[in-house]
């Protein structure tokens, strides 16, 4: 019985080679430790009554046990649905119900509130905490550490990741076994990862970058990960001497550059620094090279496609670009209005095609059809140029999507929250360049006649409704919004107005 993703990423590992060199409690897990725990969790999933194709929603802190839940889902043929730990109850209720999750794994602190959410009263809940406690592991402890992987086809859905769009609520991107596996295989070869590599892993694992790029690449290569809870400079410099590589968002590199401990000597043992999830400023790229002698490798991907392009491992890593199309991926730049390819160097919408491209949006066939060309190319919505050497440069987005700290943010969702506040007549939300996060969220408000708006009160109100990364970093109160002759708000003017706000 074959299960391509499990067999290739997990099932072939055995023995005492280290999968995790450092965990929160200072312990080391071997691949055997990891797979034993995954098998025990797989039994819990099956005992909960789930069958292949059912969804397992997971909103827990980063840990080796949490990553074992991912392996257990692949092993049981259930669909893994990771959720940002910053999401509020009102946000996760949408995901739980839209995905019709058969099992929800959350933290003990959230269990009471989540189990009372509308539509979730009869769902199965288990808990998992950062210290290794919780009902999931309590039940797993009594289970066998052997589990026969369920037979699955390469086109079966392995994961469901929700992503923002330009209209409506978040959409669930369906990623197949082959989508994940093909991309991991391409990246391991292109970036030359081997079992000798040790990855400094400080990324979250509810996001494509930390889960399906960083973790999958290391699992496929058979290397090890230093599994840090998050970005902490003391820990980064403590464990960096044990690592050979690091994957991060631009924030990682700006924080490193702000620390005097970053020198050529401190990174002399590292062979590769990779950046993604948000645009890396060319100045950051050049400053990092001047300081360390290392050129960051920037790549480009998205939730629906995993990685599409990358600067070369061997060759010129060109600042300000996201490199070439990866092996097995085709890219083109087209006129967004008519779909015809533009000439070399001309700006258009980037379209991609390959085994890495998702199967479609969960229960949204019409939306899926809108996002694909007739010949199978996926319309990314990102504006780009392609030069005669094949380098892709992302120059903006055709949509209003904001990417802050690597997270996708849909402005309309924030505007709906703001518009409901007392005294607010209307709002407009844009993203402007931010040295740490790529883009920072800026909200512009118009007060109702006779009303007075207070910035601090508005900030406090949004914190109750929105995850922290979605909350505006700056709020401006104006008399009116810029509009065109058709009455549409001209967000480009707002972006231009506040472009230097976070410098």
In a domain, 429, yes or no: yes
Residue 39 pLDDT class (50, 70, 90 cuts)? very high
Residue 412 pLDDT class (50, 70, 90 cuts)? confident
Question: pLDDT at position 492, please?
Answer: 85
Question: pLDDT at position 1, please?
Answer: 66
In a domain, 85, yes or no: no
Is pLDDT above 80 for 71?
yes
Provide the domain limits for residue 488.
Answer: 402-497
Residue 166 pLDDT class (50, 70, 90 cuts)? very low
Tell me the C-alpha distance between 331 and 394, whole Å.
13
> Do 432 and 400 touch, CB atoms closer than 8 A?
no
Question: pLDDT at position 487, please?
Answer: 56
The arithmetic mean of pLDDT across residues 309-331, rounded, is 97
The arithmetic mean of pLDDT across residues 49-58, rounded, is 98
Phi-psi region of 343 (alpha: psi -120 to 50; beta: other; left: phi over 0): beta
Tell me the C-alpha distance between 11 and 222, whole Å.
11
In a domain, 264, yes or no: no
Q: Higher model confidence: residue 321 or residue 280?
A: 321
Is pLDDT above 70 for 484?
no
Is pLDDT above 90 for 220?
yes
> Do 303 and 408 touch, CB atoms closer than 8 A?
yes
In a domain, 436, yes or no: yes
Nearest to 231 by CA among 249, 258, 213: 249
Judged by average pLDDT, the poorest of 54-58, 183-187, 459-463 is 459-463
In a domain, 330, yes or no: no
Question: pLDDT at position 403, please?
Answer: 87
Is pLDDT above 60 for 495?
yes
Tell me the C-alpha distance between 6 and 54, whole Å.
17
Judged by average pLDDT, the poorest of 23-27, 327-331, 375-379, 434-438 is 23-27
Nearest to 90 by CA among 420, 412, 464, 424: 464
Alpha-helical runs (H) found in 29-176 = 31-47, 64-76, 89-99, 108-115, 135-140
In a domain, 298, yes or no: no
Q: Could you read off the pLDDT of 5-26 as tens digits, one per residue? A: 999 999 988 777 888 888 877 8
Tell me the C-alpha distance between 394 and 385, whole Å.
7
Q: What is the mean pLDDT of the chain?
A: 93
Question: pLDDT at position 486, please?
Answer: 46
Q: Which two tokens stand for residue 207?
A: 């996001």
Q: Higher model confidence: residue 88 or residue 114?
A: 114
Question: pLDDT at position 464, please?
Answer: 87
Burial class from Cβ neighbours inside 10 Å (0-12, 13-18, 19+) for residue 193 reads: buried
Question: pLDDT at position 426, please?
Answer: 87
Question: pLDDT at position 168, please?
Answer: 53
Tell me the C-alpha distance between 402 and 430, whole Å.
7
Residues in Cβ contact with 374 at an 8 Å cutoff, skipping those fewer than 6 apart: none
Tell me the C-alpha distance between 240 and 292, whole Å.
14
- Give the pairing type, strands 124-127 and 103-106: parallel
In a domain, 466, yes or no: yes
The arithmetic mean of pLDDT across residues 326-352, rounded, is 94
Overall number of domains in the chain: 1
Is pLDDT above 70 for 167?
no
In a domain, 201, yes or no: no
Is pLDDT above 90 for 467?
yes
- Give the pairing type, strands 171-176 and 360-361: antiparallel
What 492-499 contacts at long range (C-beta under 8 Å, 24+ apart), as own/partner pairs, is 494/428, 494/430, 494/442, 494/444, 495/430, 495/431, 495/432, 498/430, 498/432, 498/442, 498/474, 499/432, 499/433
The tokens 């730990």 sit on which residue?
85
Is pLDDT above 90 for 185?
yes
Residue 435: which CATH number?
Answer: 3.30.300.30
Give the chain's count of helices (H) and strands (E): 16, 25
Is pLDDT above 80 for 164?
no
Residues in Cβ contact with 234 at an 8 Å cutoff, skipping those fewer than 6 apart: none
């Amino acid at each position: 019985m074959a299960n391509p993703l499990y067999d290739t990423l997990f099932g072939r590992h055995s023995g005492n080679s280290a999968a995790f060199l450092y965990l929160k409690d200072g312990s080391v897990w071997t691949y055997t430790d990891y797979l034993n725990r995954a098998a025990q969790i797989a039994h819990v999933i099956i005992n909960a009554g789930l069958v292949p194709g059912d969804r397992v929603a997971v909103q827990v802190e980063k840990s080796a046990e949490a990553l074992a839940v991912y392996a257990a889902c692949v092993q049981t043929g259930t669909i893994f649905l990771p959720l940002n730990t910053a999401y509020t109850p009102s946000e996760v209720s949408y995901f739980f119900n839209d995905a019709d999750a058969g099992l929800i794994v959350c933290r003990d602190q959230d269990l009471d509130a989540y189990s009372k959410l509308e539509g979730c009263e009869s769902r199965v809940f288990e808990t998992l905490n950062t210290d290794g406690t919780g009902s999931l592991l309590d039940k797993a402890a009594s289970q066998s550490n052997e589990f026969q992987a369920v037979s699955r086809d390469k086109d079966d859905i392995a994961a469901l990741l929700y992503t923002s769009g330009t209209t409506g609520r978040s959409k669930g991107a369906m990623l197949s076994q082959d989508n994940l596996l093909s991309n991991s295989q391409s990246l391991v070869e292109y970036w030359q990862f081997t079992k000798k590599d040790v990855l400094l892993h400080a990324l979250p694992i509810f996001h494509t970058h930390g889960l399906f790029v960083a973790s999958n690449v290391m699992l496929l290569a058979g290397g090890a990960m230093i599994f840090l809870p998050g970005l902490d400079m003391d820990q980064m410099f403590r464990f960096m001497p044990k690592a050979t590589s690091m994957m991060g968002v631009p924030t990682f590199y700006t924080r490193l550059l702000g620390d005097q401990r970053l020198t050529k000597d401190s990174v002399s043992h590292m062979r590769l620094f990779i950046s993604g999830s948000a645009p890396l400023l060319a100045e950051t790229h050049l400053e990092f090279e001047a300081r360390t002698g290392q050129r960051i490798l920037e790549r480009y991907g998205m939730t629906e496609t995993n990685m599409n392009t990358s600067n070369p491992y061997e060759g010129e890593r060109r600042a300000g670009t996201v490199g070439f199309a990866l092996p097995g991926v085709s890219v083109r730049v087209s006129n967004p209005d008519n779909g015809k390819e533009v000439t070399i160097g001309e700006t258009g919408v980037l379209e991609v095609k390959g085994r890495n491209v998702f199967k479609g949006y969960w229960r949204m066939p019409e939306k899926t059809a809108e996002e694909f060309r007739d010949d199978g190319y996926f319309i990314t919505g990102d504006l780009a140029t392609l030069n005669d050497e094949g380098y892709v440069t992302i120059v903006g987005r055709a949509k209003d999507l904001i990417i802050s700290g690597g997270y996708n943010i849909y402005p309309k969702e924030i505007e709906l929250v703001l518009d409901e506040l007392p005294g607010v007549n209307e709002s407009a939300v844009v993203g402007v360049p931010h040295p740490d996060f790529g883009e920072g969220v800026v909200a512009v408000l118009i007060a109702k006649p006779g009303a007075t708006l207070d910035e601090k009160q508005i900030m406090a109100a949004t914190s109750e409704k929105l995850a922290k990364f979605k909350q505006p970093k700056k709020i401006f109160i104006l008399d009116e919004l810029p509009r065109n002759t058709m009455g549409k708000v001209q967000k480009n003017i707002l972006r231009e107005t506040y472009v230097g706000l976070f410098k």
